[in-house]
Amino acid sequence: MALGVIEWNSIVEALLFASGDEGLSLKQLTIVLELEEQEVVDILNELSENYKQKDRGIELVEVAGHFQLTTKKEHASYLKKLVESPANSSLSQAALETLAIVAYKQPITRAEIEEIRGVKTERPIQTLVSKILIKEVGRAEGTGRAILYGTTKEFLEYFGLKSMKELPPLPEKADNEFEQEEADLFFEKFNETLEEL
């Protein structure tokens, strides 16, 4: 290793943070870092030990062969307060767009959402998961087994819906101007509902 242990730990931490809830496999890390597998394992072990200190709020976990950073379970009550805080009740335009896509196209992967929106959606998805409006509902078939997202019971409660059948229908064939108008009305209704919460 040309870099010191601290530098490698810092780089791996940044990579895992950037990968979000999808995490990175050992193979992905060895390719990106251009290191031998055992060297990466040593870095992950060192990082994991650092996170076990009481003054750290996150931990390194391995889920389905992918390493990811998560918050420690003992801080759950504080995280819940943050999510339920009135200051956090409004959603950004990006989060609203992402939520609408998930609501109408579920189950859907992050890549599919990004294809529809044309931009990255990692942050909006994290926001929606933290507000319990969407959740992981399974894994897609095929390479990578991407996370599938769907709406929650809380989504129905927040928007006063008895079931997903009560969502307004999307126009099958319409010009772009009409579609934009419909989308604007839909997002406007979402905003109004959230402001009332």
Output the six-digit token pair for 13: 């931490």
Q: Examine the pLDDT at 197 and tell me if it is beyond 70.
A: no
Measured CA distances, 82 to 94, 105, 131, 132 (Å): 20, 29, 10, 12
For 5-74, give the CATH class.
mainly alpha
Whether 85-196 and 5-74 are alike in CATH topology: the answer is yes
Tell me if 193 sits within 8 A of 160, measured CB to CB: yes
pLDDT in tens, 35-85: 999 999 999 999 999 988 888 888 998 888 889 988 888 888 887 777 666
Q: Which fold has domain 85-196?
A: Arc Repressor Mutant, subunit A (1.10.10)
> What residues does each domain of the chain span?
5-74, 85-196
What's the pTM? 0.47
